[in-house]
Amino acid sequence: MAAAIPGIFSDELREAVLASKVLVVGAGGIGCEILKNLVLSGFSDIEIIDLDTIDVSNLNRQFLFQKQHVGKSKAAVARETALTFNPDVKIVHHHDSITSTEYGITYFKRFSFVMNALDNRAARNHVNRMCLAADIPLIESGTAGYDGQVELIKKGLTQCYECTPKVAAKTFPGCTIRNTPSEPIHCIVWAKHLFNQLFGEEDPDQDVSPDTADPEAAGDTAGEEALQSKANDKGNVERVSTRSWAQANHYDSEKLFTKLFHDDIKYLLSMDNLWKKRRPPTPLDWNSLPDGVAGSSKDGGDTGLRDQQQWSIAKCGAVFAESVKKLSLDFEACRQKSKTDHLVWDKDDTAAMDFVASCANIRAHIFGIPEKTRFDIKSMAGNIIPAIATTNAIIAGVVVLHAFRVLLNKLEDCKSVYLRPKMNHKNQLLVPEKCINAPNPKCYVCAKTPTAALAADVTKMTVKQLEDIVLKAGMNMVAPDVMIDGKGIVVISSEEGETEENNDKFLEEVGIVDGAILSVDDFLQNYSLKVTVVHRDKPAPNSDEPEFIITADADDLKPKEENNVLEKPSTSNGQSMEISPQKSDPGSAHKRKTESPADDTPSKKRKIEFSNGSDSDDDICVVESEPDNNSAGASSSSIKRKQVDDDDDCFIVDDENSDVYMATQ
């Protein structure tokens, strides 16, 4: 190993490498490369943690894994393979989540530094906070296609992972998905929702039936007539869920197809106002599906890779029938084990992917939207940016070079480095920053006295929503405790059962009103801050405005004419950024939610988030960049980055997600 060979490392570095203890978080594409580099460099005490298991799709770039390892723990197999390079290394693996309470501040303090090789924002935020609390260096990394990034995070020296706002996740109004799709992605989201309605975890916000409450359809009588005609003797409307209807019809493919792609479309056509300025959809007949794509017919004869063929609608119908048959059997098998069990959509499950691909293309055909290949739909459904093995290897190499500098206490030399897909004007592919980016003084995570402002409707937001959506999902806390400053009233407690009676109360009912200051603490993350509450009326149901806003400064909530905040260079690529709303995921990593009004207003133009929550490859995240190196400035309505130096025209690598608007300065 390198550290054992005289002359490769200086004596100081060699001793530091041998004496260090390293934590690697993530054993995917980057994690495997990092572990290999650490072992070959001579690091002798390593721990690696990953909750994921090996999938066939990992084998083309995660070279510590082989076909016989599919289904096994990534962390365990990575350790096993790495030990074949150097059996003398001590490697401890954990098949677990880094956010588990077992891995607290004391655990992190055991290490010389931490290396992140993660794929999701929630875990990155958590590790960021734990390393800040433990005051140990964190080397953050990520790749997306041919782009990549490595940066050092050190308390008091550099900006942390949460110093700058992240890119907003793409959202779509619920009525667009259900009534008036206009893009392939609308049909793909609809198809994934349909999967959950039939076989997955049922979510009322993912209803796929025509939305009679669509504000744009106001004035139509179709919805009213339907309700009146379905009334029972008591005058109530008896509704049957999509799943119950399908089960009652034994998941008959023809009946399902007729309901979804003929009857529901005919009903949409009766909503006349929707089609005054749009091309109306065309219902399909199961017995006469068009077979008009060359080389792709109902009878076979297709050539080329299956995933990259353009299916005809006839073939989509056949694939739909076959996938429904397979999924219904799998679903029934789940239900025999537990009545509450269900299937989970996975892009790598053949039947699940076939179902979404066929349904999305059939719906696209109905609405005159360009159809996509199965390969394209898979990429869009999982929000996948293809992972490149060489990109992972290059970034992992830079990560370990940063580790050497950390061990030598040359932290100022650990400038952020960006891997570019093309040479810049200086013929550089690996482009370093000129200096370390200082912490954002208004960051609500790493500032000396962290503060934040919450703008929400205190008359309509409940305490439970404050805990789950704002603090846990929006601010990535694990076990928050909330007290009203100056009053000593405990509103939320991490102790189970202590404040459950507050859950359904509105904020104003427990004393949280406009101007209230909350003391918020998360003992698991050793993180605390003050949150100033600003009352803000809840937007109308059909508004694009967020239900609430989290920002680092209450001044950011003032009207634009009063808000004279200046740009400050504090992004991770040396650029300056203005305040912009940012969303963050309120649900689990495997579930997409829609923002729905808390009141009973009948008009529900919801915004549906579409992100890569179901994708678990550790080396995939989103890269946002500005193509113009001499941008004049930033727009106040969206995140823009302005170059402050020709060398810094690089990319920021980030992951996905969320429904909470967030902003920092």
- Mean pLDDT across the chain: 80
- Predicted local confidence at residue 239, as pLDDT: 60
Distances (CA, A) of 402 to 38, 42, 131, 416: 12, 15, 16, 9
When mean pLDDT is compared across 59-68, 303-312, 473-482, the lowest value belongs to: 303-312
Q: How confident is the model at residue 295 (pLDDT cuts 50, 70, 90)?
A: very low
The predicted-structure confidence for 359-404, as pLDDT tens digits, reads as follows 999 999 999 999 999 999 998 887 767 788 999 999 999 999 999 9
Q: Helix axis angle, 29-41 relative to 389-407, nearest 10°?
A: 50
Mean pLDDT over residues 61-72, rounded? 92
In this predicted structure, which of 97-101, 128-132, 401-405, 549-553 has the lowest mean pLDDT? 549-553
Quick one: average pLDDT of 91-95?
A: 96
Residue 131 or residue 174, greater confidence: 131
The per-residue pLDDT for 622 is 37
Q: Are strands 451-456 and 549-551 parallel, antiparallel or unpaired?
A: antiparallel
Query: How far is it, in rounded angstroms, from Cα 135 to Cα 133?
Result: 5
Per-residue confidence band for 577, with pLDDT thresholds at 50, 70 and 90: very low
Backbone angles phi, psi at 113, to 5 degrees: -165, 165
Give CA–CA dist 283/436, Å, rounded: 59
pLDDT at 475: 87
- For residue 146, CA distances in Å to 183, 396, 429, 430, 441 come to 27, 14, 10, 11, 33
**C-alpha dist (Å) from residue 126 to 69, 116, 349, 615:** 29, 11, 30, 19
List strands edge to edge, sheet with 138-144: 90-94, 45-49, 22-25, 113-116, 138-144, 147-153, 417-419, 430-432
pLDDT at residue 582 tops 80: no
Q: Residue 154 in contact with residue 410, Cβ under 8 Å?
A: no
Query: In this predicted structure, what is the pLDDT of residue 93?
Result: 97
Model pLDDT, residue 107: 95
Q: Rounded to whole angstroms, how far apart are CA atoms 403 and 13?
A: 10
Strand stretches in 69-159, DSSP E: 90-94, 113-116, 138-144, 147-153
Band the pLDDT of 220: cuts 50, 70, 90.
low
Query: Rounded CA gap, 548 and 460, in Å?
Result: 11
CA 251 – CA 100 distance, rounded (Å)? 40
pLDDT, residue 541, reads 67
- pLDDT, average across residues 408-432: 93
Query: What is the rounded (10 degree) CA torsion for 38, 39, 45, 49?
Result: 70
Maximal C-alpha separation, the chain: 91
pLDDT bucket at 155, cuts 50 / 70 / 90: very high
Query: Could you give the 3-state DSSP secondary structure of residue 82?
Result: helix
pLDDT at 556: 59
- Residue 205: its pLDDT value, please? 74
Query: What pLDDT is attached to residue 588?
Result: 36
**DSSP character at residue 426:** T
pLDDT value, residue 119: 83
pLDDT score of 382: 76
Query: Which range has the worst mean pLDDT, 16-20, 66-70, 306-310?
Result: 306-310
Residue 401 region, left (φ>0) first, then alpha (ψ -120 to 50), else beta? Answer: alpha
Tokens describing residue 348: 């790598």
Higher pLDDT, residue 36 or 486: 36
Distance, CA of 394 to CA of 191 (rounded, Å): 37
- The DSSP annotation for 135-160 comes to T--EEEEEEEBTEEEEEEE-TTTS--
Give the model's pLDDT for residue 561. Answer: 47
- What token pair was written down for 398? 């830079």
Residue 662 forms beta bridges with which residues?
550
Q: Are strands 549-551 and 661-663 parallel, antiparallel or unpaired?
A: parallel
Mean predicted confidence (pLDDT) in 2-22? 89
Q: How many residues does the chain have?
A: 665
> What is the C-alpha separation between 31 and 10, in angstroms, rounded?
26
d(CA 446, CA 509): 32
The SS3 call for residue 35 is helix
Supply angle C-alpha 122, 125, 127, rounded to 5.
Answer: 110
Nearest residue to 368 via CA among 280, 240, 286, 453 = 280
pLDDT, position 661? 36
Contact 41, 600 (CB under 8 A): no
Residue 193 in tokens:
């929702």
Please count the other Cβ atoms lying within 10 Å of the Cβ belonging to residue 340: 8
Q: What is the pLDDT of residue 218?
A: 55
- Taking 90 as the threshold, does the pLDDT of residue 649 lie above it? no
Kindly report the backbone phi and psi dihedral angles of residue 9, in degrees, each rounded to the nearest multiple of 5, phi listed first: -110, 155
Catalytic residues: 175
Q: When comparing pLDDT for 647 and 425, which is higher?
A: 425
What does the pLDDT look like over 603-626, one tens digit per residue? 444 444 444 444 444 443 434 333
Q: What is the pLDDT of residues 509-546, one digit of tens each?
A: 999 998 889 999 998 888 888 899 999 998 876 666 78
**Closest Cα to residue 582, out of 622, 616, 618, 615?**
622
pTM score above 0.75: no
Q: What's the confidence (pLDDT) of residue 69?
A: 94
Q: Residue 300 carries which DSSP code?
A: -
> What pLDDT score was predicted for residue 597?
37
**CA distances in angstroms from 336 to 249, 267, 366, listed in the order given:** 19, 36, 36
Closest CA to 610 of 208, 186, 201: 186
Give me 132's structure tokens: 């800040």
Record the tokens describing residue 278, joined without a space: 């749009």
Q: Is the pLDDT score of 98 beyond 70?
A: yes
Contact, 492 vs 464, CB < 8 A?
A: no
The pLDDT, as a whole number, for residue 207 is 83
H or E stretch at 456:
strand 451-456
pLDDT of 204 reads 77
* DSSP strand pairing (594-595 vs 607-610): antiparallel
Query: Rg of the Cα trace of the chain?
Result: 26
Residues 339-361, mean pLDDT to the nearest whole number: 91
pLDDT tens digit sequence for 232-289: 444 444 567 888 899 999 999 999 999 999 999 999 999 888 898 899 999 999 999 9
**CA distances for 290 relative to 237, 298, 311, 365, angstroms:** 37, 9, 11, 10
User: pLDDT tens for residues 468-493?
Assistant: 999 988 888 988 999 998 888 999 99
Say what the pLDDT of residue 226 is: 46
How far is 162 from 663, CA to CA, in rounded Å? 10
How many CA atoms lie within 13 Å of 558's alpha carbon, on the beta-carbon side? 9
Counting residues of the chain whose pLDDT is more than 90, the rounded percentage is 50
**Residues ≥6 apart with Cβ < 8 Å to 500:** none
DSSP string covering 611-633: -STT---TT--EEE--S-TT---
Whether residue 628 is predicted with pLDDT greater than 60 in this model: the reply is: no
Separation between Cα atoms, residue 91 and residue 27, nearest integer Å: 13
Beta strands in 224-296 (DSSP E): none
